[in-house]
A = this chain, B = another copy of it.
Amino acid sequence: MIRTQFTDTFGVEHPVLCGGMTGLGTAPLISAVANSGALGFLTALTQPTPEALAAEIARTRELTDKPFGVNLTILPTINPVPYDEYRAAIIESGVTIVETAGSSPEPHMDDFNRAGVKVIHKATSVRHAVSAAKHGVAAISIDGFECAGHPGEDDVPGLVLIPAAVRALDIPVIASGGIATGSGLAAALALGACAVNMGTRFVATTEAPVHENVKKQIVANNERDTVIVFRTFHNSARVARNSISEQIVEIEKRTGSTFADVAHLASGARGRENVLAGGDMEGGVWWAGQTQGLIHDIDTVENVVGRIVSDAEDIMRSQLALLS
């Protein structure tokens, strides 16, 4: 067992989180994460309505009696999202841990604080983390350049970003991006983090609700098999390398290219669905982190979490032998 400020503050057994993954953060995976002793997040916007989210929370409770949270990703969208209603559904369901991501959590903090909900805000830069801390979040999940999805535009990886965030903040810091193993957990703790947040590692588990081809591709891929798309539009996203993502990058290189030029290739949720549910690995873009290079098997969530924690414990103990 590894006990940290994270396990103490959030009442969770292991200093390991499964961060919000749209489409994947549903009851089967998140209850498995909870049962393993780690902290997982249902993704609010994966559910079509606030009522559906409340039902998914209830479904998760049937599968586990351990803590889990809900991710609320705040993004500018073409069709307005009823964020207030999703927030109310979370609070009314009695969930006490929320992960916010995307824009500032500020508009939601009064309600969450009043309800005693602890907020972990995901930030890709020290300045955004400091700003969120001022608004009363309980912890920061600092997301390095290595991560799947949106790494921001600063390109600062965890080795530098984690200790920089730890220095600037006086609330717990969770290391996110680039971590998939026990050595990563031990390293993150050495850098001053109190837990690790993982995404790609949890996609390659038995319980992850994605096509088997996706899991196999993560194992087959190495650390070079991601690309960053949408950099030109200041909305960088790290996705798996495939013919679609490489084509998008090529189009972005052309002077004056616009999002409309690549939208039909990325094709939003539908393209991702081709991959995640359909198993067509060239059917669209799909998020993947550089940790693909560190993931060599598909296993149950319980085994993955158990191994990461026990490997980290072994490393932390064995390091003492280096001291004289």
Contacts and interface: CB of A to CB of B under 8 A. Distances in A.
A81 interface: no
A88 interface: no
A158 B157 CA distance: 8
Given A183-B192, A191-B187, A322-B3, A161 B223 contact: yes
A158 B161 contact: no
A263 interface: no
Interface stretch (A103-111, A205-213, A279-287, A310-318): A310-318
A96 interface: no
A181 B163 CA distance: 9
A144 B163 contact: no
B159 A178 contact: yes
Interface residue tally of chain A, by bracket? 35 or more
A102 interface: no
Contacts of A159: 144, 146, 157-159, 177-179, 184, 187
A98 B175 CA distance: 36
A77 interface: no
Contacts of A294: 160, 163-164, 167
State the number of copies, please.
2
A164 B296 CA distance: 11
Given A1-B323, A160-B293, A324-B1, A154 B224 contact: yes
A141 to B, nearest CB: 15
A320 interface: yes
A254 interface: yes
A90 interface: no
Interface in A153-171: 154-161, 163-164, 167
Please indicate which of the listed interface residues A158, A178, A223, A254 has the most CB atoms of chain B within 10 Å of its own CB. Answer: A223
22 contacts: A2-B322, A2-B323, A3-B322, A3-B324, A126-B293, A145-B145, A146-B156, A156-B223, A158-B159, A159-B179, A159-B184, A160-B223, A163-B181, A163-B183, A164-B294, A190-B190, A254-B255, A313-B323, A316-B316, A316-B323, A317-B320, A320-B320
Q: Across chains A and B, which 6 residue pairs bring their CB atoms closest together, nearest first?
A: A157-B157, A159-B178, A186-B190, A187-B187, A187-B190, A160-B290
